[in-house]
Each structure stands twice: as C-alpha cells, then as structure tokens.
C-alpha cells in the first residue's frame, strides 16, 4: 500500500515522518505547512535514512527537527526533485531480482568449475 514520507514546517521547526493518509496528517499537524512529500510503497528505509541525516538536529522525544535552510533544501530535493524519487528504493525487485539472482548463481558456478575444479581434475587425467 502506498504511503507518504513528508516534511512539514511549523514555525522554525520541521516534522519529518510518514503516513498512509497525507491529508489527515496535514490536518493533525496544523498550522504546519507541507513543504515536500514523496509517495512510496516502502517508507521505512527512506524515513530511517532521512532521520539519520538530521539526527543532530532532532528535538529529543519528538519527530521535530530544527533545520537550516540548506538542510531543508536537501531534504526537499530528496523527497521531490531531480528524479531522486527512487533514491532510496531497491535497485532490483520482483521478477528482475529473481532473474538477476539465478543468472549470478549460474555465472559464479561456471567460473568455479572452469577455474577451480577443472584444473584440479585435469591433473589426474
């Protein structure tokens, strides 16, 4: 199910989080203003990486951060700009991951047989 990772500004503080219902979250965090958001199927790794970037700016015991203008721009770029919507998404997933895994396994097996097993067995013939 699609979720949203968001950046909401409330005065000089910023809330970084994720939700399944962006409109409800906007209402709950009033008078905060939505600065940026990203629609994603897997928000946990993304939110974890973003929060790790700004851990030094976090207000203890909350999801609020005191960010500099450059940090707000950086977070906004991660969430909405420059084709970076898939920045934290997996490189391969689904059937392509399966095909890649099988191909890699067969290729690795070939190299092991060709360059490790065959030379040893050829000594005995």
Mind listing the pLDDT tens digit for each residue in 69-118? 999 999 988 887 644 445 555 677 788 899 999 999 999 999 999 999 99
Are residues 33 and 60 both part of a single domain? yes
Q: Are residues 101 and 76 in the same domain?
A: no
Average model confidence (pLDDT) across the chain: 88
Same domain, 7 and 60: yes
For the chain, list the strands marked E by DSSP. Answer: 3-10, 13-19, 33-40, 64-65
* Residue 84, C-beta contacts closer than 8 angstroms, at least 6 positions apart: 77, 78
Residues 35, 8 contacting (CB under 8 angstroms): yes
The tally of domains found in the chain comes to 2
Report the pLDDT value the prediction gives residue 6, as an integer from 0 to 100: 93
- Is residue 107 domain-shared with residue 53, that is, in the same domain? no
* Confidence (pTM): 0.63
Domain that holds residue 118: 90-125
82 and 46, same structural domain? Answer: yes
28-68 residue pLDDT tens: 989 989 999 988 888 888 888 898 999 999 999 888 999 99
């Amino acid at each position: 199910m699609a979720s949203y990772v968001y950046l909401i500004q409330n005065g000089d503080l910023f809330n970084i989080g994720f939700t399944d219902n962006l409109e409800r979250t906007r209402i709950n965090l009033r008078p905060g203003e939505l600065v940026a958001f990203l629609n994603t199927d897997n928000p946990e790794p993304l939110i974890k990486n973003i929060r790790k970037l700004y851990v030094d700016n976090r207000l203890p015991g909350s999801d609020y951060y005191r960010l500099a203008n450059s940090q707000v721009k950086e977070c906004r770029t991660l969430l909405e700009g420059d084709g970076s919507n898939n920045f934290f998404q997996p490189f391969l997933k689904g059937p392509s991951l399966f095909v890649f895994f099988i191909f890699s396994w067969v290729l690795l097996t070939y190299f092991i047989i060709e360059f490790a097993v065959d030379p040893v067995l050829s000594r005995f013939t």
